[in-house]
């Protein structure tokens, strides 16, 4: 059976937005597809599969244990439920029971963001209650510490370009505060590229997206302390049942991590090299001024930042690109300031030329 865009009446899409969930995040490699196929064509004892692949990844990542979940969002919800229930089977089956009062999850105010849904939605799904610390533009160790109570279950830190970057405590500082009070630190590092850094900086649980930097299939990964991971794994009998992941994606994701550790991802220098002719071509279009900029969260990611000065507005250009054939999706976060960003990590040279051509037509 042939699969095509036409079969389902779908649009061909150029993803110049980055590793975004709304576009399916990433493309997977032939080796990952082969692992997925092996998973799809065979049967396993699923609990054993999750435990053994977790142990395999833990060895690769030099951590005590790991658990593959369906997504980074599921990882937040199940990690929150884990630190609240602490392995209690009654809590697993009754995650919102009034028997448990220790449910407060401390979160820097500038980290309570919407990344497609709100961070607090996932915390509440796990049975937690967000307690914001500090202010939208500042959170220090002292701000976290003053919010600790007898009902605090954990500190949650969101490492993301979506969050406020200035005047925020570091992961190391958050870990120090959490551990002073005997609390675990959960770090959501969904799109981050370093799979070792945050555990080494003191986090007890770290959550990654399978399909973003790692370029695997839809999946998530929770790594960290053995006891805490066992509590996360237990959520498969509770809230995690509605977030279960299939055998094909478990094996595909495991292969993706192995490939990622062996090969890495495109370097910032390589991105800049590919961006030079793209930016030059855009600068020949009247009303557009392009430059190369680094990711706002300091990652080794470079993008084309295009200032739109007329006759169209940035929002009109963005809409025009989406209506094109193929549809081009960009980063829209600064559209209100007249700026469009193009992320080229998932864009080839032929697609870059198509974007230039469409911009000429729109302008």
Q: In the predicted model, is pLDDT for residue 143 greater than 60?
A: yes
- Assign 24 a pLDDT band (cuts: 50, 70, 90): low
- Assign 129 a pLDDT band (cuts: 50, 70, 90): very high
Establish whether domains 5-24+266-362 and 44-263 are of one fold.
Answer: no
pLDDT at 267: 84
* CA–CA gap between residue 144 and residue 305 (Å, rounded): 35
- Assign 37 a pLDDT band (cuts: 50, 70, 90): very high
Tens of pLDDT, residues 48-97: 999 999 999 999 999 999 999 999 999 999 999 999 999 999 999 999 99
Q: In the predicted model, is pLDDT for residue 1 greater than 90?
A: no
pLDDT at 22: 66
What ranges do the domains of the chain cover? 5-24+266-362, 44-263
- Assign 263 a pLDDT band (cuts: 50, 70, 90): confident
What percentage of the chain has pLDDT greater than the value 70?
98
pLDDT at 266: 78
Listed residue (183, 41, 216) closest to 104, CA to CA = 183
Q: In the predicted model, is pLDDT for residue 164 greater than 70?
A: yes
As a CATH number, domain 5-24+266-362 is: 3.90.1150.180
pLDDT at 2: 74
Q: In the predicted model, is pLDDT for residue 292 greater than 90?
A: yes
pLDDT at 109: 96
Q: In the predicted model, is pLDDT for residue 298 greater than 80?
A: no
Tens of pLDDT, residues 202-245: 999 999 999 888 989 999 999 999 999 999 999 999 999 999 99
- Assign 21 a pLDDT band (cuts: 50, 70, 90): low
**Average of per-residue pLDDT across 155-168:** 90
Q: In the predicted model, is pLDDT for residue 188 greater than 80?
A: yes
- Assign 180 a pLDDT band (cuts: 50, 70, 90): very high
Tens of pLDDT, residues 110-124: 999 998 899 999 999
**Domain 44-263 is in which class?**
alpha beta
């Amino acid at each position: 059976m042939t699969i095509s865009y036409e079969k389902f009446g779908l649009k061909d899409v150029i993803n110049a937005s980055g590793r975004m969930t709304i576009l399916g995040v990433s493309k997977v490699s032939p080796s990952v597809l082969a692992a997925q196929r092996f998973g799809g064509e065979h049967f396993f004892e699923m609990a054993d599969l999750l435990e053994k692949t977790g142990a395999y990844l833990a060895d690769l990542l030099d951590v005590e244990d790991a658990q593959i979940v369906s997504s980074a969002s599921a990882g937040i919800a199940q990690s929150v439920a884990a630190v609240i229930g602490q392995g209690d089977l009654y809590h697993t089956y009754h995650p919102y029971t009034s028997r448990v009062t220790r449910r407060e999850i401390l979160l820097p105010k500038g980290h309570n963001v919407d990344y497609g849904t709100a961070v607090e939605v996932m915390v509440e799904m796990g049975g937690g209650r967000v307690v914001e610390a500090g202010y939208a533009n500042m959170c220090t160790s002292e701000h976290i510490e003053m919010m600790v109570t007898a009902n605090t279950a954990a500190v949650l830190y969101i490492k993301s370009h979506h969050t406020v970057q200035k005047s925020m405590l570091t992961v190391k500082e958050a870990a120090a505060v959490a551990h002073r009070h005997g609390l675990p630190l959960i770090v959501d590092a969904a799109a981050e590229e370093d799979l070792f850094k945050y555990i080494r900086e003191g986090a007890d649980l770290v959550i990654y997206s399978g399909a973003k930097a790692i370029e695997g299939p839809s999946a998530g990964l929770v790594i960290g302390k053995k006891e805490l991971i066992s509590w996360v794994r237990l959520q498969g009998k509770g809230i995690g049942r509605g977030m279960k992941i299939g055998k094909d994606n478990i094996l595909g994701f495991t292969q993706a991590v192995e490939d990622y550790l062996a090969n890495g991802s495109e370097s910032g220098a390589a991105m800049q090299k590919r961006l030079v002719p793209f930016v030059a071509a855009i600068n020949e279009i009247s009303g557009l001024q392009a430059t190369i900029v680094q990711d706002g969260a300091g990652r080794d990611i470079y993008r084309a930042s295009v200032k739109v000065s007329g006759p169209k507005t940035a929002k009109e250009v963005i809409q025009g690109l989406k209506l094109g054939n193929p549809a081009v999706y960009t980063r829209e976060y600064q559209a209100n300031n007249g700026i469009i960003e193009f992320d080229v990590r998932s864009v080839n040279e032929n697609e870059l030329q198509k974007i230039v051509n469409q911009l000429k037509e729109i302008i």
